[in-house]
Structure 1
Amino acid sequence: MVGIIIASHGEFADGILQSAGMIFGEQENVKAVTLKPSEGPDDIKAKMEEAVASFDNQDEVLFLVDLWGGTPFNQASSLIEEHKDKWAIVAGLNLPMLIEAFASRFSMNTAQEIAASILDTAKDAVKVSPEELEPAESATPAAQQGSAGAPGKFEYVLARIDSRLLHGQVATSWTKATNPTRIIVVSDEVSQDELRKKLIQQAAPSNVKAHVVPIHKMIELAKDDQHFGGQRALLLFENPQDVLRAVEGGVPLETINVGSMSHSTGKVQPNKVLAFDQDDIDTFAKLKELGVDFDVRKVPADQRGDMDDIIKRAQEELNKQN
Protein backbone atom coordinates (compact mmCIF):
# COMPACT_ATOMS: atom_id res chain seq x y z
CA MET A 1 0.00 0.00 0.00
CA VAL A 2 1.20 3.51 -0.86
CA GLY A 3 2.49 5.40 2.18
CA ILE A 4 1.18 8.94 2.72
CA ILE A 5 2.96 11.76 4.55
CA ILE A 6 0.84 14.80 5.43
CA ALA A 7 3.12 17.78 6.07
CA SER A 8 2.30 21.32 7.20
CA HIS A 9 3.33 24.48 9.00
CA GLY A 10 1.99 24.19 12.56
CA GLU A 11 -0.55 21.57 13.67
CA PHE A 12 -2.64 21.60 10.49
CA ALA A 13 -1.40 18.16 9.41
CA ASP A 14 -2.39 16.56 12.72
CA GLY A 15 -5.83 18.16 12.61
CA ILE A 16 -6.71 17.23 9.05
CA LEU A 17 -5.56 13.65 9.63
CA GLN A 18 -7.88 13.44 12.63
CA SER A 19 -10.76 14.89 10.58
CA ALA A 20 -10.21 12.41 7.75
CA GLY A 21 -10.12 9.54 10.25
CA MET A 22 -13.51 10.57 11.63
CA ILE A 23 -15.02 10.43 8.15
CA PHE A 24 -13.12 7.62 6.41
CA GLY A 25 -11.74 5.60 9.31
CA GLU A 26 -8.27 5.16 10.77
CA GLN A 27 -5.56 4.45 8.18
CA GLU A 28 -2.34 2.48 8.18
CA ASN A 29 0.87 3.75 6.57
CA VAL A 30 -0.09 7.41 7.02
CA LYS A 31 1.92 9.91 9.06
CA ALA A 32 1.34 13.57 9.92
CA VAL A 33 4.50 15.69 10.05
CA THR A 34 4.48 19.25 11.43
CA LEU A 35 6.92 22.15 11.32
CA LYS A 36 6.74 23.95 14.66
CA PRO A 37 7.61 27.66 15.08
CA SER A 38 10.84 26.79 16.90
CA GLU A 39 11.98 24.29 14.23
CA GLY A 40 13.85 24.58 10.95
CA PRO A 41 14.09 22.72 7.62
CA ASP A 42 16.37 19.98 8.96
CA ASP A 43 13.87 19.16 11.72
CA ILE A 44 10.93 18.50 9.42
CA LYS A 45 13.15 16.62 6.96
CA ALA A 46 14.24 14.29 9.77
CA LYS A 47 10.57 13.72 10.68
CA MET A 48 9.76 12.88 7.07
CA GLU A 49 12.63 10.40 6.89
CA GLU A 50 11.41 8.76 10.10
CA ALA A 51 7.89 8.54 8.68
CA VAL A 52 9.08 6.91 5.46
CA ALA A 53 11.10 4.37 7.47
CA SER A 54 7.92 3.33 9.30
CA PHE A 55 6.00 2.43 6.12
CA ASP A 56 5.49 -1.15 4.98
CA ASN A 57 6.34 -0.14 1.41
CA GLN A 58 9.04 2.53 1.19
CA ASP A 59 9.17 2.37 -2.60
CA GLU A 60 5.82 4.17 -3.02
CA VAL A 61 5.42 7.40 -0.99
CA LEU A 62 3.02 10.31 -1.54
CA PHE A 63 3.58 13.68 0.17
CA LEU A 64 0.52 15.89 0.69
CA VAL A 65 1.71 19.34 1.79
CA ASP A 66 0.03 22.61 2.65
CA LEU A 67 1.87 25.15 0.45
CA TRP A 68 3.77 24.91 -2.81
CA GLY A 69 7.21 26.37 -2.18
CA GLY A 70 6.93 26.28 1.63
CA THR A 71 9.43 24.52 3.89
CA PRO A 72 7.48 21.21 4.06
CA PHE A 73 7.25 21.21 0.26
CA ASN A 74 10.92 22.05 -0.18
CA GLN A 75 12.10 19.31 2.17
CA ALA A 76 9.81 16.75 0.57
CA SER A 77 11.21 17.80 -2.81
CA SER A 78 14.74 17.17 -1.61
CA LEU A 79 13.75 13.70 -0.45
CA ILE A 80 12.08 12.64 -3.68
CA GLU A 81 15.06 13.70 -5.77
CA GLU A 82 16.34 10.12 -5.66
CA HIS A 83 12.84 8.66 -6.14
CA LYS A 84 11.46 10.75 -9.01
CA ASP A 85 10.32 7.65 -10.85
CA LYS A 86 7.98 6.60 -8.00
CA TRP A 87 7.38 9.21 -5.29
CA ALA A 88 5.17 12.29 -5.71
CA ILE A 89 4.14 15.54 -4.01
CA VAL A 90 0.76 17.30 -4.14
CA ALA A 91 0.47 20.78 -2.59
CA GLY A 92 -2.67 22.70 -1.56
CA LEU A 93 -3.86 20.03 0.88
CA ASN A 94 -7.58 19.98 1.70
CA LEU A 95 -9.87 17.43 3.34
CA PRO A 96 -11.56 16.07 0.18
CA MET A 97 -8.09 15.58 -1.36
CA LEU A 98 -6.95 13.55 1.63
CA ILE A 99 -10.10 11.40 1.72
CA GLU A 100 -9.77 10.73 -2.01
CA ALA A 101 -6.12 9.72 -1.51
CA PHE A 102 -7.19 7.25 1.18
CA ALA A 103 -9.89 5.78 -1.08
CA SER A 104 -7.60 5.61 -4.11
CA ARG A 105 -5.18 3.32 -2.27
CA PHE A 106 -7.76 0.52 -2.57
CA SER A 107 -7.46 0.46 -6.35
CA MET A 108 -4.13 2.16 -7.14
CA ASN A 109 -0.70 0.83 -6.28
CA THR A 110 1.58 3.76 -7.11
CA ALA A 111 2.06 7.17 -5.51
CA GLN A 112 2.17 8.95 -8.85
CA GLU A 113 -1.08 7.38 -10.03
CA ILE A 114 -2.82 8.51 -6.83
CA ALA A 115 -1.29 11.99 -7.10
CA ALA A 116 -2.73 12.45 -10.57
CA SER A 117 -6.14 11.07 -9.62
CA ILE A 118 -6.79 13.35 -6.61
CA LEU A 119 -6.21 16.69 -8.33
CA ASP A 120 -9.73 17.12 -9.72
CA THR A 121 -11.30 16.25 -6.37
CA ALA A 122 -9.11 18.82 -4.60
CA LYS A 123 -9.95 21.55 -7.10
CA ASP A 124 -13.68 20.79 -7.23
CA ALA A 125 -13.86 21.03 -3.42
CA VAL A 126 -13.23 24.79 -3.55
CA LYS A 127 -16.68 26.35 -3.73
CA VAL A 128 -18.40 29.52 -2.54
CA SER A 129 -21.80 30.46 -1.16
CA PRO A 130 -23.88 32.26 -2.35
CA GLU A 131 -23.39 30.52 -5.67
CA GLU A 132 -23.67 33.72 -7.71
CA LEU A 133 -20.15 34.56 -6.50
CA GLU A 134 -18.82 31.68 -8.56
CA PRO A 135 -17.08 32.77 -11.78
CA ALA A 136 -18.87 31.88 -14.99
CA GLU A 137 -17.77 28.52 -16.37
CA SER A 138 -17.22 27.69 -19.99
CA ALA A 139 -19.84 25.47 -21.51
CA THR A 140 -19.30 21.73 -21.08
CA PRO A 141 -18.78 19.94 -24.40
CA ALA A 142 -21.93 18.22 -25.61
CA ALA A 143 -20.20 14.85 -25.69
CA GLN A 144 -19.59 15.11 -21.94
CA GLN A 145 -23.02 16.51 -21.10
CA GLY A 146 -25.06 13.92 -22.92
CA SER A 147 -28.31 15.02 -24.56
CA ALA A 148 -30.04 16.24 -21.39
CA GLY A 149 -33.66 17.01 -22.08
CA ALA A 150 -33.93 14.76 -25.12
CA PRO A 151 -36.84 12.30 -25.02
CA GLY A 152 -35.97 8.94 -23.52
CA LYS A 153 -34.91 7.18 -20.34
CA PHE A 154 -31.60 6.58 -18.63
CA GLU A 155 -29.13 4.11 -20.04
CA TYR A 156 -27.85 2.17 -17.02
CA VAL A 157 -24.13 1.61 -17.55
CA LEU A 158 -23.50 0.14 -14.09
CA ALA A 159 -25.45 -0.66 -10.93
CA ARG A 160 -23.11 -1.47 -8.03
CA ILE A 161 -23.46 -2.57 -4.42
CA ASP A 162 -20.66 -0.97 -2.41
CA SER A 163 -20.81 -0.14 1.30
CA ARG A 164 -18.38 2.73 0.67
CA LEU A 165 -20.49 4.12 -2.19
CA LEU A 166 -18.50 6.70 -4.20
CA HIS A 167 -14.76 6.26 -3.55
CA GLY A 168 -11.53 5.77 -5.46
CA GLN A 169 -12.40 2.52 -7.21
CA VAL A 170 -15.67 3.96 -8.51
CA ALA A 171 -14.44 7.50 -9.21
CA THR A 172 -11.52 6.22 -11.26
CA SER A 173 -11.68 2.64 -12.52
CA TRP A 174 -15.43 2.20 -12.97
CA THR A 175 -16.17 5.64 -14.38
CA LYS A 176 -13.41 5.22 -16.93
CA ALA A 177 -14.73 1.78 -17.87
CA THR A 178 -18.40 2.79 -18.16
CA ASN A 179 -18.24 6.51 -19.08
CA PRO A 180 -21.34 7.70 -17.19
CA THR A 181 -22.76 11.22 -17.40
CA ARG A 182 -24.46 10.84 -14.00
CA ILE A 183 -23.48 9.01 -10.80
CA ILE A 184 -26.55 8.42 -8.66
CA VAL A 185 -26.30 7.17 -5.06
CA VAL A 186 -29.61 5.53 -4.23
CA SER A 187 -30.17 5.49 -0.47
CA ASP A 188 -32.85 6.70 1.92
CA GLU A 189 -30.29 7.02 4.71
CA VAL A 190 -27.62 8.93 2.79
CA SER A 191 -30.17 11.26 1.20
CA GLN A 192 -30.92 12.57 4.69
CA ASP A 193 -27.25 13.07 5.65
CA GLU A 194 -26.04 16.44 4.35
CA LEU A 195 -22.37 15.78 5.16
CA ARG A 196 -22.25 12.48 3.30
CA LYS A 197 -24.14 14.01 0.37
CA LYS A 198 -21.58 16.80 0.06
CA LEU A 199 -18.64 14.41 0.28
CA ILE A 200 -20.13 12.22 -2.43
CA GLN A 201 -20.69 15.20 -4.71
CA GLN A 202 -17.12 16.35 -4.11
CA ALA A 203 -15.70 12.90 -4.83
CA ALA A 204 -17.24 12.71 -8.30
CA PRO A 205 -14.81 12.99 -11.22
CA SER A 206 -14.77 16.19 -13.27
CA ASN A 207 -17.57 16.46 -15.81
CA VAL A 208 -19.63 13.74 -14.11
CA LYS A 209 -22.43 15.00 -11.90
CA ALA A 210 -23.14 13.11 -8.68
CA HIS A 211 -26.59 12.97 -7.09
CA VAL A 212 -28.00 11.36 -3.95
CA VAL A 213 -31.66 10.33 -4.08
CA PRO A 214 -33.98 8.23 -1.90
CA ILE A 215 -35.21 4.95 -3.38
CA HIS A 216 -38.72 6.19 -4.17
CA LYS A 217 -37.24 9.09 -6.16
CA MET A 218 -35.03 6.74 -8.20
CA ILE A 219 -38.15 4.71 -9.04
CA GLU A 220 -39.84 7.90 -10.27
CA LEU A 221 -36.80 8.88 -12.33
CA ALA A 222 -36.64 5.43 -13.93
CA LYS A 223 -40.22 5.76 -15.14
CA ASP A 224 -39.67 9.21 -16.67
CA ASP A 225 -39.45 8.65 -20.42
CA GLN A 226 -39.09 12.30 -21.42
CA HIS A 227 -36.10 13.90 -19.73
CA PHE A 228 -33.13 11.53 -19.58
CA GLY A 229 -32.48 10.45 -23.13
CA GLY A 230 -28.72 10.31 -23.74
CA GLN A 231 -27.92 10.23 -20.02
CA ARG A 232 -25.73 7.33 -18.90
CA ALA A 233 -26.42 6.50 -15.25
CA LEU A 234 -24.09 4.72 -12.82
CA LEU A 235 -26.13 3.69 -9.77
CA LEU A 236 -24.58 3.02 -6.36
CA PHE A 237 -26.32 1.12 -3.55
CA GLU A 238 -25.11 0.41 -0.02
CA ASN A 239 -26.80 -2.98 0.27
CA PRO A 240 -28.84 -5.56 -1.68
CA GLN A 241 -32.04 -4.69 0.19
CA ASP A 242 -32.08 -1.22 -1.40
CA VAL A 243 -31.45 -2.80 -4.81
CA LEU A 244 -34.40 -5.15 -4.33
CA ARG A 245 -36.73 -2.26 -3.44
CA ALA A 246 -35.59 -0.37 -6.53
CA VAL A 247 -36.02 -3.34 -8.86
CA GLU A 248 -39.42 -4.24 -7.41
CA GLY A 249 -40.41 -0.60 -7.87
CA GLY A 250 -39.59 -0.65 -11.55
CA VAL A 251 -35.93 0.34 -11.96
CA PRO A 252 -34.91 -1.87 -14.92
CA LEU A 253 -31.63 -3.38 -13.71
CA GLU A 254 -30.48 -6.56 -15.43
CA THR A 255 -27.06 -6.96 -13.79
CA ILE A 256 -25.74 -5.88 -10.38
CA ASN A 257 -22.03 -5.43 -9.81
CA VAL A 258 -21.35 -6.71 -6.28
CA GLY A 259 -18.21 -4.86 -5.23
CA SER A 260 -18.02 -4.50 -1.45
CA MET A 261 -20.22 -5.33 1.54
CA SER A 262 -18.72 -4.43 4.89
CA HIS A 263 -18.56 -6.81 7.83
CA SER A 264 -20.63 -6.27 10.97
CA THR A 265 -21.88 -8.31 13.91
CA GLY A 266 -23.81 -11.38 12.79
CA LYS A 267 -22.33 -11.49 9.30
CA VAL A 268 -19.98 -14.05 7.79
CA GLN A 269 -17.27 -13.26 5.28
CA PRO A 270 -16.88 -15.81 2.45
CA ASN A 271 -14.20 -13.65 0.81
CA LYS A 272 -12.10 -10.58 1.62
CA VAL A 273 -14.58 -7.90 0.52
CA LEU A 274 -18.05 -9.40 0.96
CA ALA A 275 -19.93 -10.12 4.19
CA PHE A 276 -23.44 -11.57 4.43
CA ASP A 277 -26.13 -12.27 6.97
CA GLN A 278 -29.23 -14.37 6.30
CA ASP A 279 -31.22 -11.36 5.14
CA ASP A 280 -28.55 -10.57 2.54
CA ILE A 281 -28.58 -14.13 1.22
CA ASP A 282 -32.38 -14.19 1.04
CA THR A 283 -32.38 -10.82 -0.72
CA PHE A 284 -29.93 -11.99 -3.39
CA ALA A 285 -32.13 -15.05 -3.91
CA LYS A 286 -35.15 -12.78 -4.54
CA LEU A 287 -33.16 -10.66 -6.97
CA LYS A 288 -32.12 -13.80 -8.84
CA GLU A 289 -35.77 -14.86 -9.05
CA LEU A 290 -36.51 -11.49 -10.65
CA GLY A 291 -33.95 -12.26 -13.36
CA VAL A 292 -31.07 -10.15 -12.05
CA ASP A 293 -27.55 -11.38 -12.78
CA PHE A 294 -24.55 -10.73 -10.50
CA ASP A 295 -21.13 -9.47 -11.53
CA VAL A 296 -18.79 -9.96 -8.54
CA ARG A 297 -15.77 -7.68 -9.07
CA LYS A 298 -14.08 -4.88 -7.12
CA VAL A 299 -12.59 -3.26 -10.22
CA PRO A 300 -13.10 -3.86 -13.96
CA ALA A 301 -9.77 -5.68 -14.33
CA ASP A 302 -10.70 -8.34 -11.75
CA GLN A 303 -11.86 -11.79 -12.77
CA ARG A 304 -15.57 -12.25 -12.09
CA GLY A 305 -16.42 -14.21 -8.97
CA ASP A 306 -18.97 -17.03 -8.85
CA MET A 307 -21.89 -15.57 -6.88
CA ASP A 308 -23.60 -18.94 -6.42
CA ASP A 309 -20.44 -20.39 -4.87
CA ILE A 310 -19.94 -17.33 -2.66
CA ILE A 311 -23.54 -17.50 -1.42
CA LYS A 312 -23.21 -21.24 -0.82
CA ARG A 313 -20.12 -20.76 1.35
CA ALA A 314 -21.75 -17.91 3.24
CA GLN A 315 -24.83 -20.05 3.93
CA GLU A 316 -22.70 -22.91 5.19
CA GLU A 317 -20.84 -20.58 7.58
CA LEU A 318 -24.12 -19.11 8.86
CA ASN A 319 -25.53 -22.62 9.41
CA LYS A 320 -22.48 -23.50 11.52
CA GLN A 321 -23.13 -20.48 13.73
CA ASN A 322 -26.73 -21.55 14.40
Structure 2
Amino acid sequence: MISMARVDDRLIHGQVAVKWCKELAVTRIIVASDAIAKNPLQVAALKAAAPEGVKAAVVSIEKAVSLLLDSRSQSMKILLISNDPRDLLAVFEGIEERPVLDIANYGRIGGNLASKQKLSESVYLTEDDKDVIRKIAQMGVEIIHQALPGDARRDFMSLMG
Protein backbone atom coordinates (compact mmCIF):
# COMPACT_ATOMS: atom_id res chain seq x y z
CA MET A 1 0.00 0.00 0.00
CA ILE A 2 1.30 3.45 -0.85
CA SER A 3 1.65 5.46 2.37
CA MET A 4 2.47 8.63 0.43
CA ALA A 5 3.59 9.76 -3.00
CA ARG A 6 6.05 12.63 -3.24
CA VAL A 7 7.46 14.89 -5.93
CA ASP A 8 10.95 15.90 -4.85
CA ASP A 9 13.81 17.03 -7.08
CA ARG A 10 16.26 15.45 -4.63
CA LEU A 11 14.48 12.07 -4.53
CA ILE A 12 15.94 10.07 -1.60
CA HIS A 13 17.73 12.49 0.74
CA GLY A 14 17.84 13.36 4.43
CA GLN A 15 14.24 14.56 4.77
CA VAL A 16 12.88 11.54 2.95
CA ALA A 17 15.32 8.94 4.23
CA VAL A 18 15.16 9.94 7.86
CA LYS A 19 12.06 11.95 8.69
CA TRP A 20 9.36 10.74 6.29
CA CYS A 21 10.34 7.08 6.37
CA LYS A 22 10.21 7.14 10.17
CA GLU A 23 6.96 9.14 10.29
CA LEU A 24 5.21 6.82 7.83
CA ALA A 25 6.89 3.61 9.06
CA VAL A 26 7.91 2.96 5.45
CA THR A 27 9.31 -0.46 4.54
CA ARG A 28 9.89 0.24 0.84
CA ILE A 29 10.78 3.26 -1.32
CA ILE A 30 9.96 3.16 -5.01
CA VAL A 31 11.57 5.82 -7.19
CA ALA A 32 9.59 5.91 -10.44
CA SER A 33 11.48 7.46 -13.36
CA ASP A 34 12.34 6.09 -16.79
CA ALA A 35 15.33 8.45 -17.07
CA ILE A 36 16.81 7.72 -13.65
CA ALA A 37 16.25 3.96 -13.94
CA LYS A 38 18.54 4.00 -17.00
CA ASN A 39 21.42 5.61 -15.07
CA PRO A 40 23.31 2.93 -13.08
CA LEU A 41 25.26 5.50 -11.07
CA GLN A 42 22.10 7.31 -9.94
CA VAL A 43 20.37 4.00 -9.18
CA ALA A 44 23.27 2.89 -6.96
CA ALA A 45 23.47 6.24 -5.17
CA LEU A 46 19.72 6.34 -4.47
CA LYS A 47 19.65 2.77 -3.19
CA ALA A 48 22.57 3.58 -0.88
CA ALA A 49 20.72 6.64 0.46
CA ALA A 50 17.79 4.58 1.74
CA PRO A 51 17.73 4.23 5.52
CA GLU A 52 18.65 0.95 7.18
CA GLY A 53 15.78 -1.51 7.06
CA VAL A 54 14.08 0.18 4.09
CA LYS A 55 14.49 -1.37 0.65
CA ALA A 56 14.69 1.03 -2.28
CA ALA A 57 13.81 0.25 -5.87
CA VAL A 58 14.69 2.69 -8.64
CA VAL A 59 12.60 1.61 -11.61
CA SER A 60 10.88 2.64 -14.81
CA ILE A 61 7.28 3.86 -14.77
CA GLU A 62 6.12 0.52 -16.21
CA LYS A 63 8.00 -1.45 -13.55
CA ALA A 64 6.69 0.83 -10.77
CA VAL A 65 3.12 0.16 -11.90
CA SER A 66 3.85 -3.57 -12.01
CA LEU A 67 5.31 -3.53 -8.48
CA LEU A 68 2.38 -1.54 -7.12
CA LEU A 69 -0.16 -3.86 -8.75
CA ASP A 70 1.55 -6.93 -7.26
CA SER A 71 -0.61 -8.27 -4.41
CA ARG A 72 2.47 -8.44 -2.16
CA SER A 73 2.66 -4.63 -2.17
CA GLN A 74 -0.58 -4.45 -0.17
CA SER A 75 1.24 -5.62 2.97
CA MET A 76 4.05 -3.05 2.56
CA LYS A 77 4.20 0.62 3.52
CA ILE A 78 5.53 2.26 0.37
CA LEU A 79 6.84 5.76 -0.26
CA LEU A 80 6.50 6.46 -4.00
CA ILE A 81 8.83 9.22 -5.22
CA SER A 82 9.65 10.94 -8.48
CA ASN A 83 11.36 14.16 -9.42
CA ASP A 84 8.69 14.91 -12.03
CA PRO A 85 4.90 15.04 -11.59
CA ARG A 86 4.51 13.62 -15.12
CA ASP A 87 6.03 10.35 -13.92
CA LEU A 88 3.56 10.10 -11.06
CA LEU A 89 0.66 10.94 -13.37
CA ALA A 90 1.73 7.98 -15.52
CA VAL A 91 1.93 5.73 -12.45
CA PHE A 92 -1.50 6.85 -11.20
CA GLU A 93 -2.96 6.12 -14.64
CA GLY A 94 -1.79 2.52 -14.25
CA ILE A 95 -3.05 1.84 -10.72
CA GLU A 96 -6.31 2.27 -8.81
CA GLU A 97 -4.80 3.37 -5.50
CA ARG A 98 -4.99 7.11 -4.81
CA PRO A 99 -2.49 8.04 -2.11
CA VAL A 100 -1.87 11.56 -0.88
CA LEU A 101 0.65 13.32 -3.12
CA ASP A 102 3.10 15.69 -1.43
CA ILE A 103 4.71 18.18 -3.78
CA ALA A 104 7.48 19.44 -1.54
CA ASN A 105 10.64 20.31 -3.47
CA TYR A 106 10.18 20.79 -7.17
CA GLY A 107 11.23 23.10 -9.98
CA ARG A 108 14.34 24.74 -8.56
CA ILE A 109 16.78 22.35 -10.24
CA GLY A 110 17.31 22.94 -13.94
CA GLY A 111 15.48 25.40 -16.08
CA ASN A 112 14.93 29.11 -15.73
CA LEU A 113 13.25 30.11 -12.46
CA ALA A 114 12.14 33.37 -14.05
CA SER A 115 9.83 31.37 -16.35
CA LYS A 116 8.18 29.61 -13.40
CA GLN A 117 5.68 30.65 -10.79
CA LYS A 118 6.99 30.50 -7.23
CA LEU A 119 4.42 28.76 -4.99
CA SER A 120 6.71 28.40 -1.96
CA GLU A 121 10.41 28.60 -1.16
CA SER A 122 10.79 25.08 -2.52
CA VAL A 123 8.22 24.79 -5.33
CA TYR A 124 8.35 26.51 -8.73
CA LEU A 125 5.97 25.52 -11.54
CA THR A 126 5.61 26.07 -15.26
CA GLU A 127 2.15 26.24 -16.85
CA ASP A 128 2.73 22.70 -18.14
CA ASP A 129 3.50 21.52 -14.59
CA LYS A 130 0.23 23.06 -13.41
CA ASP A 131 -1.71 21.24 -16.15
CA VAL A 132 -0.17 17.90 -15.12
CA ILE A 133 -0.95 18.55 -11.45
CA ARG A 134 -4.55 19.45 -12.30
CA LYS A 135 -4.88 16.13 -14.17
CA ILE A 136 -3.62 14.29 -11.09
CA ALA A 137 -6.11 16.14 -8.88
CA GLN A 138 -8.94 15.28 -11.29
CA MET A 139 -8.11 11.60 -10.72
CA GLY A 140 -9.14 12.01 -7.08
CA VAL A 141 -5.64 12.39 -5.63
CA GLU A 142 -5.35 14.73 -2.65
CA ILE A 143 -2.34 16.97 -3.27
CA ILE A 144 -0.54 18.67 -0.41
CA HIS A 145 2.59 20.70 0.30
CA GLN A 146 4.42 19.57 3.43
CA ALA A 147 8.21 19.55 3.40
CA LEU A 148 8.64 17.84 6.78
CA PRO A 149 6.27 15.81 8.95
CA GLY A 150 6.21 18.55 11.61
CA ASP A 151 5.33 21.29 9.10
CA ALA A 152 1.79 22.46 8.50
CA ARG A 153 0.03 20.43 5.82
CA ARG A 154 -1.17 22.83 3.10
CA ASP A 155 -3.63 22.17 0.29
CA PHE A 156 -1.55 22.34 -2.89
CA MET A 157 -4.41 23.23 -5.21
CA SER A 158 -5.12 26.32 -3.07
CA LEU A 159 -1.45 27.29 -3.39
CA MET A 160 -1.73 26.97 -7.16
CA GLY A 161 -4.78 29.22 -7.17
Aligned-pair identity in percent equals 32
Corresponding residue of 2:140: 291
Corresponding residue of 2:45: 199
Shift of 1:295: 1.9
1:208 is aligned to 2:67? no
Shift of 1:201: 0.8
Corresponding residue of 2:123: 274
1:101-133 residue CA offsets vs partner (Å, 9 max, x unmatched) = xxxxxxxxxxxxxxxxxxxxxxxxxxxxxxxxx
How far, CA to CA, are the matches of 1:254 and 1:183 in structure 2? 14
Shift of 1:307: 1.6
- Runs of 5+ unmatched residues, structure 2: none
Q: Which range is displaced more, 227-236 or 282-291?
A: 227-236
- 2:78 pairs with one of 222, 233, 237: 233
Corresponding residue of 1:185: 31
1:243 is aligned to 2:88? yes
Q: State how 1:26-175 maps to structure 2 within 5 Å.
A: 155-175=1-21
Letter of the 1:168 counterpart: G
Q: State how 1:249-268 maps to structure 2 within 5 Å.
A: 249-250=94-95, 252-263=97-108, 264-265=111-112, 266-268=115-117
How far, CA to CA, are the matches of 1:300 and 1:251 in structure 2? 26
Paired residue secondary structure (1:228): helix
Letter of the 2:2 counterpart: Y
Shift of 1:237: 1.1
Is contact 1:267-1:277 (8 Å) kept?
A: yes
- Please, what is the CA RMSD of the aligned residues? 1.3
Paired residue secondary structure (1:270): strand
Corresponding residue of 2:65: 219
The answer to which structure, 1 or 2, has the higher relative contact order (CA under 8 A, 6+ apart) is 2
Paired residue secondary structure (1:269): strand
Is contact 2:3-2:99 (8 Å) kept?
A: no
Paired residue secondary structure (1:160): strand
Is contact 1:159-1:255 (8 Å) kept?
A: yes
1:77-103 residue CA offsets vs partner (Å, 9 max, x unmatched) = xxxxxxxxxxxxxxxxxxxxxxxxxxx
Shift of 1:218: 1.1
Shift of 1:299: 0.5
Letter of the 1:288 counterpart: A
1:307 is aligned to 2:148? no
Shift of 1:251: 5.2
Higher strand share: 2
Shift of 1:305: 2.0
How far, CA to CA, are the matches of 2:79 and 2:155 in structure 1? 23
**Runs of 4 or more off by more than 3 Å in structure 1?**
none
Corresponding residue of 1:74: none
Shift of 1:309: 2.9
How far, CA to CA, are the matches of 1:270 and 1:228 in structure 2? 34
Letter of the 1:303 counterpart: A
Shift of 1:229: 4.4
- Runs of 5+ unmatched residues, structure 1: 1-154, 313-322
How far, CA to CA, are the matches of 1:216 and 1:239 in structure 2? 15
Letter of the 1:208 counterpart: V
Q: State the TM-score, normalizing by the size of structure 2.
A: 0.91
Paired residue secondary structure (2:158): helix
How far, CA to CA, are the matches of 1:306 and 1:222 in structure 2? 26
How far, CA to CA, are the matches of 1:174 and 1:233 in structure 2? 11
How far, CA to CA, are the matches of 2:41 and 2:69 in structure 1? 29
